[in-house]
Amino acid sequence: MIPSSPGSIPGSLSNLTQLTELNLAQNNFTSTVPSLAALSKLTILDLSENNFMKESAYDWIGKLTNLKELHLNNMNIYQEILPYFANLTNLDVFLMSTNFIPGCIPSSFMNLTQLTYVDLLNNRLNGAIPSAFSNFKKLNFVGQSGNKFNGSVDLDTFIGLKNLDGLHLEGVSVVTTDNYTDSTLLPQLKELQLTSCDLKEFPSFLRFQKEMTSLQLNKNKFGGVIPEWILNNSKETMFFIDLSENFITGEIPPLICQVESLLLLDLSYNSLTGPLPTCLFGKSMFFINLSQNNFGGTISNTFTQECQLKMFDLSGNRFLGQLPKSLANCTSLKSLSVSDNSFDGVFPFWLGSLTELQVLILSFNRFSSEIHDLPTLSSDFPKLQMLDLSNNGFSGQLPDNYFKIWKAMKSSTVGFRTYITNKREKHPKIINKFALIDFSCNNFEGEIPQSLTDLQGLGSLNLSNNYLTGYMLPSFGNLKNLESLDLSHNKLSGKIPPELIQLTFLEEFNVSFNHLEGRIPTGKQFNTFENYSYVGNTLLCGKPLSNDCQGSTTPTLSQTSDEYESLLPSDIIDWVVILTGFGSGLAIGILLGMFVYVRYHNWVYKRFGLRKTQRKASQLPEEKPSLSIIDVSE
């Protein structure tokens, strides 16, 4: 056996000339892909889920003319490779999703007439989608979403393929004749995704679909009401419906109560109105996103013991009243967002019994009063990682005893993964953190409790626009994962602790409009903050302010300070955020990631590309300036 270097495919594989199946998927290969052209009898080749070098060549695959299955998913391919496969006329299954493959689909690709499964998802393919796909009479599945295709596609190109049960298209203008009358000539689709396809009317062929499991028609131009035949024919099989980002009006059709198999429903960013069908709260649904609509009234207190919700989003509507306490029956709930409504009442402490809850967004409502400590605190919110109470009327002291028991936030490795790539290094470092607290724009008062600085998993902390007094805590320097700290528009006094120099991941820092004094610390991240971080503190001096310090020394860390070195000292950082799924299955994982899209400050704005909006002046606390916040509307 010829030895190979770590992370490389053994060159000796080329000696196995009688091999018919080769599966090297999900290994840790990082070198180039060697030529396997000598394995001419291969019928199945799977190289998926590896991180091969960009320089790898793939033209040799075209010599494996006996191949029936070719799996090239998630392999870090950057080359135009489709022209190499013109001779693979026996190919049945071809998968190459989640790469960076450019180029057009060449006419030679249409030689592969035996194909039954084609997955081109999530690459950089461009040009037009050939109408010659209609010649692939055996096709069961076609996936072309997540590319840069343009032009128009006649839906008849695919609807005429009677064996087809899955079709994914995105970013092309879909043309449909809408004169389908003979259901015997149509395929029975199980999955249909037509995203950003410029559709203005629901395709009429859906009237004849009786086995649909997944229907994604998001980001189109549908208006009017949801036709009942969308739900009626597949009400025993449908588990996923996504009609988000359209112009749909009216109410949610009552027929949805009869779709017993439904697990995931996304109707966000439409103009739907009316009350919510109470059946939604008793069904075994995992994911409900009704955000950014015109729903109103109170929420029925009818969540049953059978509630299986993992994610629930009602943000950006007109709901009022109190949150229904029966939500506590949804013991699997991981994310709850009701932001930008008119909910009122006290802090819903009873949600603390939800042992799986990780994300709680209550911002832009009318909640008020103090957040009282309760005798059951030791078991409250055991997995909470993101809490947004901003833009409400909460008052009193910050909830010291809650900070003491939020164990998930105390861990420096919480449930979301942030990949940090240093431009000088080839491989990314992984920091497991994504905890957030936003109590801004309320009426909190008193001093910042020491217990808050024990939450070492915090990536973002915003206490701005309150009435906090006392000093900035030197122990803020313990929050070494912190990337955003906003204490602006309060009544804090004293100096900026030099211990904050230790926060070498800190990208956003704002202590403006307080009563701080003394010299601004210098070094590391503090050399990057601009004037707006400090304005409104008349006794602060030093760069970047124009106010020079007379006779005061530059704040430095004491000899006993536990200073640590940055992983990426003084380098420019590329950030990529990947939100890992909480549940099982690809669709649920993706949607769980999408759910944490709620508006935050610049830190999250940069990560997710969210759009800033200005808070309404009428919603601001008295004598408080307006605050730029993040709103999701794209």
Which pair of structure tokens corresponds to residue 239? 């588990």
Residue 592 vs residue 458, higher pLDDT: 458
**Is the predicted pLDDT of residue 606 greater than 60, yes or no?**
no
**Residue predicted with more confidence, 628 or 277:** 277
State the pLDDT at residue 344.
Answer: 97
Q: What is the mean pLDDT of the chain?
A: 82
C-beta of residue 80 within 8 angstroms of C-beta of residue 103? yes
pLDDT value at 517 more than 50: yes
For residue 412, the model assigns a pLDDT of 67
Considering only residues 194 and 427, tell me which one the structure prediction assigns the higher pLDDT.
194
341 torsion bin: left (phi>0), alpha (psi -120 to 50), beta (else):
beta
- Looking at per-residue confidence, does 4 or 325 come out higher? 325
Please determine, for residue 218, whether its predicted confidence score (pLDDT) is greater than 70. Answer: yes
Residue 187: pLDDT band with limits 50, 70, 90: confident
Query: What is the DSSP code (8-state) at residue 171?
Result: S
Task: Please say if the pLDDT value at position 147 is more than 50.
Answer: yes
Segments making up each domain of the chain, as ranges: 574-631
In terms of C-beta density within 10 A (0-12 exposed, 13-18 middle, 19 or more buried), how is residue 546 classed?
exposed
Residue 298 has pLDDT above 80, yes or no: yes
Q: How far is CA 59 from the centre of its chain?
A: 36
Beta carbons of 344 and 365 less than 8 angstroms apart = yes
Residue 171: which of 110, 133, 226, 126 has the closest Cα?
A: 126
Pairing of strands 173-175, 152-154: parallel
pLDDT at position 627, please? 26
Question: What pLDDT score does 182 carry?
Answer: 66
Q: Which of 113, 131, 14 minimizes the C-alpha distance to 63?
A: 14
pLDDT of residue 612: 32
Residue 156: which pLDDT band, with cuts at 50, 70 and 90? confident
Q: What is the 3-state secondary structure (H, E, C) of 436-491?
A: EEECCCCEEEEECCHHHHHCCCEEEEECCCCEEECECCHHHHHCCCCCEEECCCCC
pLDDT-derived band at 622 (thresholds 50, 70, 90) equals very low
Cβ distance 488 to 516 under 8 Å? no
Q: Which helix (H) or strand (E) holds 519?
A: strand 515-519
Q: Is the separation of the CB atoms in 258 and 235 below 8 Å?
A: yes
Rounded Cα distance, 261 and 109, in Å: 38
Q: Are strands 573-578 and 417-422 parallel, antiparallel or unpaired?
A: antiparallel
Beta partners for residue 192, in sequence order: 167, 215
Residue 102 belongs to what H/E stretch? none
The model carries a pTM of 0.83
Give the Cα separation of 420 and 500 in Å (integer): 21
Contact 308, 322 (CB under 8 A): no
Cβ atoms of 301 and 327 within 8 Å: the answer is no
| Percentage with pLDDT > 90 across the chain | 63
Residues contacting 408, CB < 8 A, separation 6+ = 358, 382, 383, 384, 385, 414, 415, 435, 457
DSSP 8-state symbol, 619: G
Q: Is 403 left (phi over 0), alpha (psi -120 to 50) or beta?
A: alpha
Question: What tens digit of pLDDT does each residue of 35-63 get?
Answer: 999 999 999 999 999 999 999 999 999 99
Token representation of residue 220: 């189109």
Which DSSP letter does residue 393 get?
A: E
Angle at 422 between CA 125 and CA 592, to 5 degrees: 60
Whether the predicted pLDDT of 566 surpasses 60: no
51 exposure class (CB count in 10 Å sphere: 0-12, 13-18, 19+): middle
For 468-499, how does the pLDDT look when each residue is reduced to its tens digit (9 = 90+)? 999 999 999 999 999 999 999 999 999 999 99
Res 458 pLDDT > 70? yes
Specify the pLDDT at position 595. 41
Q: How confident is the model at residue 6 (pLDDT cuts 50, 70, 90)?
A: low
